[in-house]
Amino acid sequence: MFFDELQLNDNILDALDAMNFSECTPIQELAIPPLLEGRDLVGIAQTGTGKTAAYLLPILNKLSEGGYPQDAVNCVIMSPTRELAQQIDQAMEGFSYFVPVSSVAVYGGNDGIHYAQECRGFELGADVVIATPGRLLSHIAVGNVDLSKVSFFVLDEADRMLSMGFIDDIMQIVAQLPKQRQTMLFSATMPQEIQQLANTILHNPVEVKVAVSKPADNIAQFAYVCHETQKIGLLQHLFAGGLEGRLWSRVVVFGGKKQRVKDIVRTLRRTLSALPDVPSSSNALNAADAPLSAEGEGASQARKARALRIGEIHSDLSQPERDAVMRDFRNGHVNILVATDIVSRGIDVDDIELVVNFDVPRDCEDYVHRIGRTARAGAAGTAVTLVNTDDQRSFARIESFIGHSVEKLPVPEALGEAPAYEPKTKSSSSHRRRGGRDGARKGRRRGSHEGVSSQKHAASSKEHAASSQKHAATSEGKLHKPAAEAPTQASGTSAQASGAKKRRRRGRKHGGA
């Protein structure tokens, strides 16, 4: 379906035409008509399918038709992260270019100047507020914003909000909204908690589901089964054209934690700085594509590596620093972005060619969101995951989740021998090893207990033997007393007899009296 087949006004269609958007994605085709009718909606679709336009276009269409309060907030869009809030704000600027609708993005991590701009936007009566939960609650607490006239309420990436613990914040914000409103909930997944939330804040919603939690078909997925120590070498192999000879102009590398991201960036930069200086043209990427000359293959690899410009994003960076890195990434000043999952749903760059999972994500959903950074807007993309021996079972769960196995590429011989991909065997052998260790520990403990018991038993036996010997010695002493001790025994007996005679005489004397 084409956008001009929908009931959108000419100003919206002009903006879409200026942005070279003509055909709807499946989620847009299914969601926009009921939203134009004023229905509440639950939209479930994978990342990169156009969910943002699916709710922004009907909202802008309605606001442009008038009939809503002036100088008041008419729409609130909630985002779990500041990066996603920025992305929505940028889309808002494009779609509303020919529409008299104002908006303000509200998120934390900024300086006082940006906070003052947010307050100014509220004072001027921004029609649309795009906000993260915590920042919006802080404005509500000090009375900067009034949500009593909101007509549209959107929860974007609701499952991510749930996982980040924002559910209570969302309910506090919902309590500030009028009962009569149109509510939209968009999510990549639909766990039970999201269903309960939808039942609480939506009224008789339309449910739209498109390709729930599955990677886009135009993403070529590969994996290297490797040792942990081989991962950096595999990154360098990929960047030097090791995968089908391709050289990537824009890459995202995902690390599991911020310290991991820092380590990857530090190692890559150290490796690049150690490369020899070689002649190259002003355009590094073009120089990398040049045919080999007399300088040899090593110099060619150095040229290719020199073309790599690395940036990083993680929670230790301030918002201005993150913005600067993202700006450089979009402008091409940085062509490799190493990041945590903080950007797995928070960036919208259409021409990312390669996504590398340096660490296997523990959550299957995170895998889908990570590789969904590539192959956006109908383009093709590539995703490569580095799977060490400890992560084989986790990756097998991901393969089961997405419904097919991922092609395993051979590790280059120069990096050494790689482990086999045997997640079940690894699991069972690990269990056997763990069982063996546990059994050994139990055996040692049991042996230890038995040893202590034996020692106690032996000690008791020794005591018993000693007692028996003592008893025997005592008995033997009574039966075989030396002759020298006999008078003592006799004199004792005579004294007893003499005492008895005296008692009898006293008894006869008292009886006579």
Instruction: Please compute Rg for the chain using Cα positions.
Output: 40
Cα separation, 431 vs 32, in Å, equals 52
Lateral strand order in the sheet of 41-45: 103-106, 128-131, 75-78, 152-155, 182-187, 41-45, 206-210
Nearest alpha carbon to residue 109 among 315, 277, 347, 348? 315
Beta strands in 47-97 (DSSP E): 75-78
Is pLDDT of 148 > 80? yes
pLDDT at 300: 52
More confident residue, 91 or 271: 91
pLDDT at 34: 96
Cα three-residue angle 120-347-250, rounded to 5 degrees: 135
pLDDT at 83: 86
Q: Element (H or E) spanning 312, and its range?
A: strand 310-313
The CA-atom distances, in angstroms, between 218 and each of 50, 81, 97, 372, 460 are 15, 27, 31, 10, 79
pLDDT digits 0-9 by tens, 111-136: 778 889 899 989 888 999 999 999 99
* Chain center to CA of 491: 99
pLDDT at 213: 64
pLDDT digits 0-9 by tens, 272-282: 665 444 443 33
pLDDT band for 212, please (50, 70, 90 cuts).
low
Q: In sequence order, which ranges of 218-318 are alpha helices (DSSP H)?
A: 231-239, 258-273, 284-289, 296-306
Q: What is the mean pLDDT of residues 376-382?
A: 82
Cα separation, 24 vs 51, in Å, equals 11
pLDDT digits 0-9 by tens, 302-316: 444 445 789 999 888
pLDDT digits 0-9 by tens, 319-370: 788 889 988 998 989 999 999 987 776 677 878 999 999 999 988 888 988 9
Q: Which two tokens stand for residue 89?
A: 């704000």
For residue 509, give every residue at least 6 positions away whose Cβ sits within 8 Å of its Cβ, in sequence order, or none.
none
Q: Element (H or E) spanning 487, and its range?
A: helix 486-512
pLDDT at 149: 94
What structural domains does the chain harbor? 3-210 (3.40.50.300), 219-426 (3.40.50.300)
pLDDT at 461: 46
For residue 192, give every residue at least 6 positions away whose Cβ sits within 8 Å of its Cβ, in sequence order, or none.
none
